[in-house]
Chains A and B, each alone.
Chain A
């Protein structure tokens, strides 16, 4: 089973990289960009066929390692 974990900064947390990307996009002429936030996507392949168990296992991975929940939110996306 394949999964994608999206890790994003919490709304209040300053994102200087997102700001720099925003600035660079504006410099390229993309003047409709209003806000950029940068995060990461982690692709994971699991030897698990039960979606509920996979989701629970991924949730624990996020809490323990993949996200720092002091500053980041995470979202789990399961394929199929």
Chain B
């Protein structure tokens, strides 16, 4: 499997997600699959090698000018990312990557300032809403996982009719929940509508999520709940 991590000026989780994916590839190689390391693609590059997965990492691309992700969504490389996403190449956007995907129109809705106006940086519990996707195949639907969030603008909103369509098509990937799985206001770190933490596009080939699975993908980091996302992707795309 080949993967590309897009690097914008201000990206700061690009290396983390590269390592998380490279380790997933190494685990896959131990079972007889091919290994490898994702290539890094600079935002000014309007073309890059054919890959099986494109990752938009977390960070503060272009200093969050205008709106988070707004400038990155217009960068040269995003034209190519959008073209490939249109052809079905899977795209994963984490945190700022999620914001870029909504600004680019690849995902529905928008991410606005956290309801309590504060930058939130802590572990949250997520409920896996579906295992029927490339990204969540290695999780059980309904399972609870612990993953960190670190953002100022992660408050997800969408029009009611968009939500109805998304719920019907199973486009909600993750929701913030209490440890027992119930959806509470206290468990919602940013005020997101319907406790939504991550969503798919209609074909479930594009996923955006605010939490950082790459930050809890090995024991040394204090947990591995984020690991199945990367293992599942490598398995499905190799």
A and B are interacting partners: yes
Using CB atoms and an 8 Å cutoff, list the residues of chain A in contact with chain B. Answer: 13-14, 16-17, 20, 64-66, 68, 70-71
Interface size on B, residues (CB 8 A): 19
B70 at interface, CB cutoff 8 A: yes
Q: Mark B49-80, 1 if CB is under 8 A from A, else 0.
A: 00000000000000000110010001000000
Residue of B nearest to A66 (CB): B66
A38 to B60, CA, bound (A): 22
Using CB atoms and an 8 Å cutoff, list the residues of chain B in contact with chain A. Answer: 66-67, 70, 74, 102-103, 109-110, 112-117, 155, 157-159, 191
Q: Kindly list chain A residues whose C-beta atoms are within 8 Å of the C-beta of B114.
A: 16
Residue of A nearest to B162 (CB): A70
A17 to B158, CA, bound (A): 19
A54 to B201, CA, bound (A): 35
Looking at chain A's contact residues, the main secondary structure is: helix
The 9 closest A-B pairs by CB, nearest first: A70-B110, A71-B110, A16-B117, A16-B115, A16-B113, A68-B110, A68-B67, A20-B117, A65-B74
A17: which of B66, B67, B109, B113 is its contact (CB, 8 Å)?
Answer: B113
Contact B191 A14 (CB under 8 A): yes
Q: Kindly list chain B residues whose C-beta atoms are within 8 Å of the C-beta of A17.
A: 113, 117
A65: which of B66, B110, B155, B158 is its contact (CB, 8 Å)?
Answer: B66
Count of inter-chain pairs, beta carbons less than 8 A: 33
Q: Kindly list chain A residues whose C-beta atoms are within 8 Å of the C-beta of B155.
A: 14
Q: Kindly list chain A residues whose C-beta atoms are within 8 Å of the C-beta of B103.
A: 68
Q: Kindly list chain A residues whose C-beta atoms are within 8 Å of the C-beta of B157.
A: 13-14, 71
User: In this complex, which of B70, B112, B157, B191 has the most chain A Cβ atoms within 10 angstroms of its Cβ?
Assistant: B112
Contact A71 B70 (CB under 8 A): no
Q: Kindly list chain A residues whose C-beta atoms are within 8 Å of the C-beta of B116.
A: 16
Given contacts A68-B70, A68-B103, 12 further A-B contacts (CB under 8 A): A13-B112, A14-B157, A16-B113, A16-B115, A17-B113, A17-B117, A64-B74, A65-B66, A65-B70, A70-B102, A70-B109, A71-B110
Q: Kindly list chain A residues whose C-beta atoms are within 8 Å of the C-beta of B67.
A: 68
The minimal Cβ–Cβ distance linking B47 to chain A, given in whole angstroms, is: 22
Given known A-B contacts A66-B66, A68-B67, A68-B103, A14 and B115 have beta carbons under 8 A apart: yes
Question: Can you give 11 contacting A-B residue pairs, CB < 8 Å?
Answer: A14-B157, A16-B114, A16-B116, A16-B191, A17-B113, A64-B74, A65-B70, A66-B66, A68-B110, A70-B159, A71-B157
Residue of A nearest to B105 (CB): A70
Residue of B nearest to A42 (CB): B66
A38 to B70, CA, bound (A): 19
A75 to B20, CA, bound (A): 45
A70 to B161, CA, bound (A): 13
Q: Kindly list chain A residues whose C-beta atoms are within 8 Å of the C-beta of B159.
A: 70
Q: Kindly list chain B residues whose C-beta atoms are within 8 Å of the C-beta of A66.
A: 66
Residue of B nearest to A38 (CB): B113
The minimal Cβ–Cβ distance linking B118 to chain A, given in whole angstroms, is: 10
A20 to B114, CA, bound (A): 12
